[in-house]
């Protein structure tokens, strides 16, 4: 089973830029990706708080499953201006299976959303002293977090949605 989750939820929709909302776009990516993964066994993770998403996945997890959560990055410089560009994929620190999945996904999207920001161990707020990201740590199957691009580059995200989800689906089918 492949579990596809959209980052955040309506009450806490994640990063925004002008009218672009991270959670709303992540829902579009989740649904499009699921449609492109047919005929594989794929399941949409219901929107909700993080713990409920993890519980949903863990209640259905079997050997060989994968969980992918779609997010979009955000970064402000000292002047409060949106900065940053490119794709990165996070995996649970020390998970070889997670790293392999993240590497394949990152390679698939690196040319769509350059520059490649790489495959990274997913520490909470990217700080190892704070422990691993909760989604990556608590999900029983290998899990990754995909950050295709930064929210202020919404035109590129939306224009590339279809082709990026196609490449993701083809990559996941090969795993």
Distance CA 56, CA 53 (A): 5
**Full pLDDT tens readout for the chain, 175 residues:** 999 999 999 999 999 999 999 999 999 999 999 999 988 999 999 999 999 999 999 999 998 899 999 999 999 899 988 899 999 999 999 999 999 999 999 999 999 999 999 999 999 877 888 899 999 999 999 999 999 999 999 999 999 999 999 999 999 999 9
Identify whether the C-beta of residue 84 lies closer than 8 Å to the C-beta of residue 157.
no
Tell me what pLDDT residue 81 has: 87
Tell me what pLDDT residue 124 has: 83
Q: Among 68, 71, 74, which Cα is nearest to 104's? A: 68
Token duo for residue 53? 């998403």
Torsions phi, psi for 93 (to 5 deg): -55, 125
Please name the CATH architecture into which domain 2-174 falls.
Answer: 3-Layer(aba) Sandwich (3.40)
Instruction: State CA 148 to chain mean position distance.
Output: 7
Tell me what pLDDT residue 128 has: 86
Tell me what pLDDT residue 82 has: 86
Give Rg (Cα) of the chain.
15
In the three-class reduction of DSSP (H, G, I as helix; E, B as strand; rest coil), residue 116 is classed as: strand
Instruction: State CA 108 to chain mean position distance.
Output: 13
DSSP state, residue 92: -
Alpha helices in 20-127 (DSSP H): 22-36, 50-58, 96-109
Q: Show Cβ contacts of residue 58 under 8 Å, excluding neighbours closer than 6 positions.
A: 138, 139, 140
Beta bridge partners of 66: 2
Pairing between strand 16-17 and 66-70?
unpaired
Tell me what pLDDT residue 171 has: 97
């Amino acid at each position: 089973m492949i579990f596809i989750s959209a980052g955040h939820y309506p009450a806490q929709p994640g990063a925004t830029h002008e009218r672009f909302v991270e959670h709303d776009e992540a829902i579009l990516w989740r649904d499009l990706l699921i449609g492109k993964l047919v005929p594989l066994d794929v399941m949409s993770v219901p929107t909700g708080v993080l713990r409920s998403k993890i519980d949903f996945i863990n209640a259905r997890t079997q050997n060989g499953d994968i969980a992918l959560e779609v997010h979009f990055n955000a970064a402000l410089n000292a002047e409060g201006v949106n900065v940053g560009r490119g794709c990165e994929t996070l995996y649970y620190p020390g998970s070889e299976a997670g790293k392999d999945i993240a590497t394949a996904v990152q390679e698939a999207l690196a040319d769509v959303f350059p520059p490649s920001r790489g495959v990274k161990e997913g520490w909470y707020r990217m700080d190892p002293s704070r422990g691993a990201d909760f989604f990556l740590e608590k999900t029983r199957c290998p899990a990754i977090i995909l950050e295709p691009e930064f929210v202020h580059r919404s035109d590129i995200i939306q224009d590339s949605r279809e082709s990026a989800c196609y490449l993701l689906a083809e990559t996941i089918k090969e795993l």
